[in-house]
Structure 1
Amino acid sequence: MEEFYYQKMDRQKQAVYHGMLQGVRQLADQIQLPRVDGKELYDIFFQMRLDHPEIFWVVGFSWKYYPDSPNLIFVPEYLFEKGKIKEHQIALTSRVEKLARQAQGLSEWEKEKYVHDFICENVRYDKLKKPYSHEIIGPLGQGVGVCEGIAKAVKVLCDALGLWCMIAICGNNPEKGIKYRHTWNIVRIGGQYYHLDATFDNSLTRGAREDAEYRYDYFNLDDKAMFRDHEPLIAPAPACTDNGHFYYKEKKLSFTKMEEVKKRAQQAVKKGKVLTFHWRGSYLTRDVLREILNVLEDAGKEKSKLPHIYANAAQAVFRVWYSDIDTLTPEVVLEDANEGEKTEKGLKNPE
């Protein structure tokens, strides 16, 4: 199990972290800890829970101290009463062990994909944001979650599979209309660090067709690609500098020439298949986007088919399938890969 944030703390904070961890594991009502100020206590609590998402039952705290004491009294706030916590512990431990058994013999990359696909298949975004959706009990117990709960579930499963994983968190940005912090994961595959945002891929998978294949737009991104549509991190994290193992590159679905797009689109029309691909031939300007849309439409015209195009412009990923002509214009959706499955209708020639 990776305790990334613990390793970044000084000895005093580590002592607070360790005492806090031991106490909440024992479901203590009060825990005596070395005295730190309120902000430090909050940060330690917050990061301890990112390192240990299996501790789903403690969601807040209060504290008290005497002026001359070197210690403070930490009072955890539990999400359930203690008997119920123990029931959930048994159920979730069994659930995680069962899921992990199915993937123990896989490679690191395959384990990562297994966890990612589990989220896309089994978890829906909780628009009501229930308290348990921020914890692993939401995704793993109820099949719903928000980004925090999903990232925690990913880490718990990766930990069970022996795959290095941590939880990354960025700030909000009211100027851009981003009201909340967002949470995802960083994994280590083959000694290299990569971003993995299962929440965004989940929203894209469910935003298109119910029978669509999973999306991997945020599977093994480097920093440059990730922060095209993610805010800066507010806590330390390893640098992700390798861009060679992005999912669509691995699967030879990352194209650099319009001829490649045309050829694969024609194959999709002929076979009646869904085509998902990444464009990396040049920066995705409006002119380049318009050219790709024209190529996809022209491929359908050859067989009297109209395209349904879903475009994640931030990551230059496109999903297209074709149907018999029953409308006047192709369907083009400019996707907003975000929490809550947001999509926005677009035009064929975006301005």
Structure 2
Amino acid sequence: MEAYYFRQLDKYGQSVYHAIQEGLTDLSPSFPVPRMEGKELSEVLFRLRLDRPELFYVTGFSYRVHPQAASVEFIPQYLFDKGKIREHQRALSARVTKLARPAQSMTDWEKERYVHDFICQNVRYDKLKKPYSHEILGPLGQGVGVCEGMAKSVKALCDALGLWCIVVVSHAAPEQGIRYRHAWNILRLGGSYYHLDATFDRTLSGEGPIRYDYFNLDDRRIFRDHQPLVYPAPACTDGDAFYYRVQKRSFTRVEEVVRRGEQALRKKQPLLFHWRGGALTRGVLEELLPPLEEAARARSRYVQVRVNWPQAVLHITFPDQPPEQTCTTEEANEGEALAASEPSEA
């Protein structure tokens, strides 16, 4: 279990982190922690909850300041009463153990894919953003979640499988229409670090094939459509473990795409691939579409293309009726939100 954000704190911050962790683990209604201002306490709690997804039952806190005291009284806000929390803890522990069991003998890359696919196949995006959807209780207990809950669930499952994994958080960018922070994961495989955004892939997958557009991206590619991180994270510099490259579905020539398109037509399957032959532009699409449309016509089919422009991934289907639009842009961002935990002074 990686306590990554704990190690980013100074000694005093670590003592506060430990005190809050101990009090929350004991489900104490209140407890003393070394003295800190409210915003600093909020930062420590936020980091703790990124490191410890099992603290799913904490939504925020208030605090009391005693003049001249070396500590403050920390008063947690819990989602449930103590009995209900213990019940959920037992159920989630059993759930994680059961989910992890079939993947224990897999390679690290296979374990990562197993966790990713679980999220994509079993978790719905919670548009209502209920409180438990920000924690592992949503995705692992209720089958619904937002980015924070999904990223924490990925970490919980990776922890159970012995994979190094952290949750990372990006800034909001209101000027670009990005109102909220977003959360995803970084994993370490074979000594290298990679970005994994299961939430974006879940959104793109919908009811269709599982998408891997955000599976093992390097920094250069993830930040094409993700904002800068709030906290420092390991550099992700290796682009060779990107899913479509590993699976040989990353093409550099129009001829490769057409050949694969013809195979997909024969098998009555969609064609999903990454374009690596320079920048993906509308000019490239204008080269790809005519030969694909010709191959489709020969089988009384049509072509429909959905494009994830930032990641240069194309999802091509061959419907038997003319589509309303031949080419559409895919959006992976669901308007994400992270739960606020601003303190109040009691």
Local SS of the residue matching 1:98: helix
Q: CA RMSD in A?
A: 1.4
**CA offsets, 1:175-208, max 9 Å, x none?**
11111110000011111100000000000000xx
Q: Is 2:232 the partner of 1:232?
A: no
Local SS of the residue matching 1:294: helix
Deviation, structure 1 residue 104: 0.4
CA distance in structure 1 between the aligned counterparts of 2:173 and 2:285, rounded to whole angstroms: 27
Partner of 1:275: 271
Partner of 2:40: 40
Q: Is 2:300 the partner of 1:336?
A: no
- Is this contact kept in 1: 2:180–2:335, CA < 8 A? no
**CA offsets, 1:106-155, max 9 Å, x none?**
01000000000000110000001111100101000110000000001000
CA distance in structure 2 between the aligned counterparts of 1:173 and 1:226, rounded to whole angstroms: 16
CA distance in structure 2 between the aligned counterparts of 1:189 and 1:310, rounded to whole angstroms: 31
In structure 1, runs of 5+ residues without a counterpart are 342-351
- Is this contact kept in 2: 1:125–1:340, CA < 8 A? no
CA distance in structure 2 between the aligned counterparts of 1:323 and 1:309, rounded to whole angstroms: 11
Deviation, structure 1 residue 288: 1.8
Partner of 1:203: 203
Local SS of the residue matching 1:306: coil
CA distance in structure 2 between the aligned counterparts of 1:330 and 1:258, rounded to whole angstroms: 22
Local SS of the residue matching 1:4: coil
Q: Is 2:261 the partner of 1:265?
A: yes
Match for residue 303 of structure 1 among 292, 299, 302: 299
CA distance in structure 2 between the aligned counterparts of 1:79 and 1:106, rounded to whole angstroms: 36
Moved over 3 A (4+): 293-296, 328-331
**CA offsets, 1:189-230, max 9 Å, x none?**
111100000000000000xxx2x2200000000000000000
CA distance in structure 2 between the aligned counterparts of 1:202 and 1:329, rounded to whole angstroms: 25
Partner of 1:247: 243
Pairs within 5 Å for 1:98-109: 98-109=98-109
Closer, same or farther: CA 268–2 of 1 in aligned 2, 3 Å = same
Partner of 2:89: 89
CA distance in structure 1 between the aligned counterparts of 2:308 and 2:291, rounded to whole angstroms: 17
Deviation, structure 1 residue 299: 2.9
Pairs within 5 Å for 1:146-165: 146-165=146-165
TM-score (normalizing by structure 2):
0.94
Partner of 1:346: none
Deviation, structure 1 residue 329: 6.1
- Is this contact kept in 2: 1:306–1:330, CA < 8 A? no
Deviation, structure 1 residue 339: 1.7
Partner of 2:52: 52
CA distance in structure 2 between the aligned counterparts of 1:128 and 1:293, rounded to whole angstroms: 39
Deviation, structure 1 residue 78: 0.3
CA distance in structure 1 between the aligned counterparts of 2:91 and 2:210, rounded to whole angstroms: 27
Local SS of the residue matching 2:45: helix
Deviation, structure 1 residue 304: 2.4
Deviates more, 1:291-300 or 1:151-160: 291-300
Partner of 1:2: 2
CA distance in structure 2 between the aligned counterparts of 1:294 and 1:226, rounded to whole angstroms: 31
Q: Is 2:216 the partner of 1:223?
A: no
- Is this contact kept in 1: 2:216–2:242, CA < 8 A? yes
- Is this contact kept in 1: 2:304–2:323, CA < 8 A? no
Deviation, structure 1 residue 336: 0.6
CA distance in structure 1 between the aligned counterparts of 2:209 and 2:335, rounded to whole angstroms: 19
CA distance in structure 1 between the aligned counterparts of 2:290 and 2:22, rounded to whole angstroms: 60
TM-score (normalizing by structure 1):
0.93
Code of the residue aligned with 1:248 in structure 2: it is Y
Partner of 1:345: none
Closer, same or farther: CA 182–154 of 1 in aligned 2, 3 Å = same
Closer, same or farther: CA 25–119 of 1 in aligned 2, 3 Å = same
